[in-house]
A and B are shown apart, each in its own frame.
Chain A
Amino acid sequence: LITVFSGTVGLVLKIVFLAIVNALSLWAAIVLSDHHKWKAVVVLVVATLLIDAAYLAKRTLPLKFLIPGTVFLLAFQVIPVVYTVNVAFTNYSTGHILSQSEAIAAIKENSLSETDNGASYTMAPARDSSGALVLILQADSGKTFVGTRDGLKPIPKSDVKVNTDLEITSARGYRILQGAELSALDTELSQYKVPVGSDASIQPQGFDSAVVLKPTLRYDAKRDAFVRLKDGVAYANNGLGAYAASSGDELEPGWKTYTGTRNFGRIVHSKLVRGPFLKVFAWTFFFATAVVFLSFAFGLLLAITLNKPGLRLQRLYRSLLIIPYAVPAFLSLLVWQGLLNDDFGVVNRLFHISVPWLFDPWWARVSVILVSMWLTVPYFFLVSLGALQSIPSELVEAAKVDGGGGWQVFRRVTLPLLLVAVAPLMIASFAFNFNNFGNIYLLTGGGPAMGNSPIAGATDILISYTYKIAFAAGKGQDYGLASAIGIIIFFIVATISAISFARTKALENLA
């Protein structure tokens, strides 16, 4: 195979591949320079030239293998991690997604309120004899006016014609604007104001109506604060991405900004977060450990049983066992939820029992472990089967010749050899189950409630509990807090995995 790829075929493939890479980056560079992103263009060009150099030169063999790995590492590991860490130090959450200048504009727009009498007008934009934009207005009372940037001027009612749809069709001395001519004036119209005294003004709403609006807040750029016009209450920049009054009352929206270690501080100080943390952590650890070890034990048992030479219908059994692994987990989780229903589920009906599988905290924990096992056993069955078959039979026979009993041979020879291959996979499976959001969320949603805790349910693991804190509490979504907790979970999993891998090394040395 290698000879084929190092020949002409390889050369052609290489050229095609490089041509595609170059073409893509050429295209990207053109798009980027259209948007004046010069830094990105430089990075892109340099990276592309490096790739070309690496694959065209002869002496850079290691690089040819390192480059794809590095690219994927950057794209799927480094960038998300950097982004998460970055978000953890911001207030990115509901009400804090805009920039400050956007937030100021939005607060100004939101502060416009209809006056108490709520006067509204039927409107038609028009040009006067000098060609200036004016508004022909008819009040709800029927009185007609022409509105300009200087103010409101009454015009005789007989001058204005209104059709049955309450649209102004003509006005003497003015040319009513229509169609594309009108939509071309969109921005001008949406900013058009006819002052009517005491800060209030008539402002168009679309093309055929206008209302009297009055701001309730005024922005003071010098103090970087909003002042409520009614009573002079000042909303000052609180440094946390919002304008807040001394009473703590905040204006919406706020903006996204860096808030230092505040999110980590909240984890430590908030009773809501801290309260059930240890309980949830303990359960998460137990859940992941139990699922991995039970699944491994069960999968190994099945593998040994079905590995017996001369077993009839061996293929059938093996295929059947893989089914839970082949069915999408989302599907089987929802099916299990139905099967385990206390009163109407198949499991209880079939065995004529009434176990509160999902409604009792302890039984719910059992259910979660059992169902996760159902999903994990086939994996360990497959892995163990493969590993068993790769153990040289001479070793086992030699052990038997030396007088080892069945259990002794398994314990001293088979298992250690097996673990060399399977232990790293068990660690990976542990890390996966430690963060197995899908199983918990789809089966029990973290429930049932644990005592009277507001957030954590009996089967909540750290990641589902994080989800609840960040997305189902407070004021909507809190990405900053979620990222902060995510980082902490990462360190927990990384520590556990590191310790486990260190132990595995010892295992290898033994073998």
Chain B
Amino acid sequence: MKVGRRSAVLLAVVLAAALALVGSRATPAHAGAKAAHLTIWVDNVQKPAIDRITSAWGSRRGVDVNVTFHSFGTIRDDLKTVKAENAPDVIVAAHDWTGDLAANGLVVPLFPKAAIKKQFPKYALSAFSYGGKLYGAPYALENVGLVVNTRLVKVPKTFAQLEREALAFKHKDANNIAIAVPQGSGGDAYHMYPFFSGLGGYVFGHARNGALLPNRIGVANKTFLKNASLIDKWNREGLINSKVDYGTAKNAFLKGNAAFWITGPWETDSLKGAGFPFRIIQMPKIKYRSVPFLGVQGTMVTKYAGTHGVASLAKDLVANEMMKASFQLDLEQANQRFPANMVAGKRVSDPVLKQFGKAGVGGVPMPNIPQMGSVWAELGGAWVKATKGSGATPARAAFTTAARNIAAKIAGG
């Protein structure tokens, strides 16, 4: 058969080529004594600082530290699907992942020394706690503040003064915005939270051990509803307007069309480049202290540390080494966020960061339980409905509906 012969020749050639391509396969490295090996998932901002500090720690502990770049936005979800052999032992995390990751059983509880815990504000630790247990070591705080253009207005001491100044400024020009609060049609509960908390609003109540209770919703609590008519007043007089979205707010403030802007330390560079003097303060008290939402960044030990036989090393790194003031200051330089460790906080020298830090004192960590997913859109939406100018829903009705919807969503997805 002539066909068969040609095929046979071809087959031989193909197989030989295949073998040549595979070539000398590198033998897998399970030979020899295995040095302890610790993998950390880190985003690119913190990577240099974490590289530096962990290599010093690693050589002291005799462990190979593998600091792997992993984009921050994907760390949480990738941890849920990663194969055990590729999984990290330690991750950099935002505190509001705590509930999700702990409920999934992916991170382990930590018990730092009392002496170290004392160096942290209670709210930074509770931000990383779920069900009364600590799951992360906080290293940076992030919050919004009220940024004041001091060339245009005086720094207000009371809310009445802020209201007066802002409205007077707005009336000077048709393009002016009184207080630039980033919202937009979808709403933004994070940026409006100081107003909400200043009127007595809160998201979830908590149990005695500090655990948040998803069935105790404070979005339409009695105190807040009593004060909610103030929102309607602000809407009427144009003090706030939910049609101002993030870009509009930023542009208006940087161009001098707004004297007040609610924003956070991620805008430090644009503030410094704005070319006018400014101050960052906590928004003056309305009925209660107008505290912002706090975002806390930290590190967590995953359940895979145990699988990989490095549980003690991971705990030593996270709950001991990384909570120290020196480490936290090092990271502050890298990521422009206020350190969570109070000893380190006192040593911060950057004036903008210092002012943002002060604006966050007493802040409320964004609830870290997974049920918070049901809250964001409703809370932001209620604010938008109540402050969209003409045709707005009265705040009392908007927030009552929001609270009912949140309860419905949490009850049955």
Is B388 part of the binding interface, using a Cβ–Cβ cutoff of 8 Å?
yes
CB distance from B41 to the nearest CB of A (A): 18
CB–CB A204/B131 < 8 A: no
Report the bound CA distance from A494 to B256 in whole Å. Answer: 55
Provide the bound-state CA to CA distance between A468 and B114, in Å.
Answer: 42
* Central interface residue in A22, A30, A109, A112, by most chain B CB within 10 Å: A22
From A475, which residue of chain B is reached at the shortest CB distance? B370
Q: For B10, what are the chain A residues with a Cβ–Cβ distance below 8 Å?
A: 15, 56
Q: How far is the CB of B128 from chain A (nearest CB, A)?
A: 15
Docked complex Cα distance between A213 and B110 (Å): 11
CA of A183 to CA of B34, assembled, Å: 11
A56 touches B11 (CB 8 A): yes
Find out whether the CB atom of A343 lies under 8 angstroms from the CB atom of B241: yes
Q: Does A208 contact B (CB under 8 A)?
A: yes
In whole angstroms, what is the CA distance A476 to B214 when docked?
12
| Distance between Cα atoms of A356 and B411 in the complex (Å) | 33
**Which residues of chain A have C-beta atoms less than 8 A from B384's C-beta?**
359, 448
Chain A 306-317: CB-based contact to B (< 8 A → 1; otherwise 0): 000000000000
CA distance A16 to B21 in the complex (A): 10
Q: In the complex the two chains form, is B61's CB within 8 Å of A182's CB?
A: yes
C-alpha spacing A187/B384, complex, angstroms: 53
Given the interface pairs A23-B17, A23-B18, A447-B185, the reply to whether A252 lies near B105 with Cβ below 8 Å is yes
| B63, B311, B378: the one within 8 Å of A454 (CB) | B378
Please state if A207 and B245 are interface contacts (CB–CB under 8 Å).
no
Q: Which residues of chain B from 73 to 114 have a CB within 8 Å of any chain A CB? A: 80, 100, 102-106, 108-114
Contacts of A344 in B (CB 8 A): 243-245, 248
From known contacts A186-B313, A471-B373, A476-B373, infer whether A180 and B35 are also in contact, taking CB-CB under 8 Å. Answer: yes
Q: How far is the CA of A16 from the CA of B17 in the complex (A)?
A: 8
Q: Tell whether A305 is near chain B: CB-to-CB under 8 Å.
A: no
A478–B413 contact, CB under 8 A? yes
Task: For the complex, give the distance between the alpha carbons of A22 and B11 in Å.
Answer: 11
Task: Choose the segment among A113-121, A151-159, A279-287, A381-389 that binds chain B (4+ C-beta atoms closer than 8 Å).
Answer: A113-121
Contact, CB under 8 Å: B373 / A190: no
A171 within 8 A of B: no
Q: Would A19 and B62 count as touching, CB distance under 8 A?
A: no
Asked if residues A454 and B408 are in contact (CB atoms below 8 Å), the reply is yes
Is B303 touching A206 in the complex (CB atoms < 8 A)? no
Interface size on A, as a range, is 35 or more
With contacts A30-B25, A56-B10 known, is A343 near B243, CB below 8 A?
yes
With CB as the reference atom, state the residue of chain A lying closest to B209: A113
Q: B399-413 vs A: 1/0 string, CB under 8 Å?
A: 001001110111111
Chain B residues closer than 8 Å to A376, beta-carbon distance: none
CB-defined interface of A424-463 with B at 8 Å, one 1/0 digit per residue?
0000000000000000000011011100111100000000
CB interface residues, A 458-493, toward B, < 8 Å = 468-476, 478, 481
Contact status A207-B114, CB under 8 Å: no
Across the interface, do B109 and A358 meet the contact criterion of CB distance under 8 Å?
no
The 8 A CB mask of A125-153 against B (1 = contact, 0 = none) is 00000000000000010000000000000
Encode B226-266 as 1/0 by CB contact (under 8 A) with A. 00000000000000010111011000000000000000000
Chain B residues with CB under 8 Å of A16's CB are 17
Flag if A98 contacts B105 (CB, 8 Å).
yes
Are A474 and B62 within 8 A (Cβ)? no
B268 at interface by CB-CB < 8 Å: no
Bound: A296/B150 CA distance, A: 55
* Chain B residues in 8 Å Cβ range of A207: 61, 312-313, 316, 320
Query: Among residues 80 to 103 in chain A, which have CB atoms less than 8 Å away from a CB atom of chain B?
Result: 94-95, 97-98, 102-103
* Shortest beta-carbon distance from A143 to chain B in Å: 15
Place the interface of chain B in its size category: 35 or more
CB distance B13 to A253 under 8 Å?
A: no
**Chain A residues whose CB sits within 8 angstroms of the CB of B185 once the complex forms:** 358-359, 364, 444-445, 447-448
Contacts A166-B115, A455-B409, A472-B377 hold; do A97 and B80 have CB atoms under 8 A apart? yes
When C-beta atoms are compared, the residue in chain A nearest to B324 turns out to be A165
Task: Please state if A97 and B104 are interface contacts (CB–CB under 8 Å).
Answer: yes
- The residues in B between 359 and 413 inclusive whose CB is less than 8 angstroms from any CB of A are 370-371, 373-374, 376-378, 381, 384-385, 388-389, 391, 401, 404-406, 408-413
Cβ of B15 within 8 Å of any chain A Cβ, yes or no, is: yes
Taking the complex as formed, is B348 at the interface, i.e. its CB lies under 8 A from any CB of chain A? no
Residue among A107, A338, A344 having the largest count of chain B Cβ atoms under 10 Å: A344
CB-CB nearest in chain B for A140: B114
B334 at the interface (CB under 8 A from A): no
Digitize A62-89: 1 where CB-to-B-CB distance is under 8 Å, 0 elsewhere. 0000000000000000000000000000
Q: Does A163 contact B (CB under 8 A)?
A: no
Expressed in whole angstroms, the minimum distance between the Cβ of A246 and any Cβ of chain B is 18
- Asked whether A223 is an interface residue with its Cβ less than 8 Å from the other chain, the reply is no
Asked whether, in the complex, the Cβ of A253 is within 8 Å of the Cβ of B408, the reply is no
A121 shortest CB reach to chain B, Å: 9
Is B349 positioned at the interface, with any CB of A under 8 Å from its CB? no
> Which chain B residues lie closer than 8 Å to A447 at the CB level?
185-186, 381
Contact B111 A114 (CB under 8 A): yes
Q: Judge if A27 is at the interface, Cβ distance under 8 Å.
A: yes
- Are A472 and B374 closer than 8 Å at their CB atoms? yes
A52 to B17, CA, bound (A): 13
Q: Assess whether A272 is in contact with B18, with CB atoms less than 8 Å apart.
A: no
| Closest A residue, CB atoms, query B23 | A23
A19–B110 alpha-carbon span in the complex (Å) = 53
Interface string of A164-199 (1 = CB under 8 A from B): 001000000000000111111111011000000000
Are B243 and A19 touching (Cβ within 8 A)? no
Report B370 CB to chain A, min CB distance, Å.
4
B315 / chain A contacts, CB cutoff of 8 Å: 190, 205-206
Among A23, A182, A358, A449: residue with most chain B CB under 10 A: A449
How close is A353's CB to chain B, nearest CB, in angstroms? Answer: 14
Q: Is the CB of B14 within 8 A of A189?
A: no
1/0 per position for B8-42, CB-CB distance to A under 8 A?
00110111011111100100100000011000000
A252 touches which one: B36, B102, B243 (CB < 8 A)?
B102
Select from chain B the residue with minimum beta-carbon distance to A123: B113
- Which of A30, A95, A445, A473 is B373 in contact with, Cβ under 8 Å? A473
| B111-A205 in contact (CB<8A) | yes
Q: Which residues of the other chain, B, contact A181 by a CB distance below 8 angstroms? A: 62
Q: Give the residues in chain A near B303, CB-CB below 8 Å.
A: 102, 105-106, 109
Contacts A97-B105, A209-B111 given; 19 further ones with Cβ under 8 A?
Answer: A15-B13, A22-B18, A30-B22, A56-B7, A106-B303, A109-B109, A118-B114, A120-B113, A189-B312, A204-B312, A205-B315, A272-B409, A338-B245, A343-B244, A452-B405, A454-B405, A473-B373, A473-B413, A474-B371
18 contacts between A and B (CB under 8 A): A27-B22, A56-B7, A106-B105, A120-B111, A179-B60, A209-B112, A266-B412, A272-B409, A337-B184, A337-B245, A338-B247, A344-B244, A344-B245, A359-B388, A448-B381, A449-B385, A472-B374, A475-B370
The 3 A-B residue pairs with the shortest CB-CB distance in the complex, in nearest-first order: A474-B413, A180-B62, A206-B316
What is B's interface to A at a CB cutoff of 8 Å? 3, 7, 10-11, 13-15, 17-22, 25, 28, 35-36, 60-63, 80, 100, 102-106, 108-115, 131-133, 184-186, 214, 241, 243-245, 247-248, 303, 306, 309-313, 315-317, 319-320, 370-371, 373-374, 376-378, 381, 384-385, 388-389, 391, 401, 404-406, 408-413
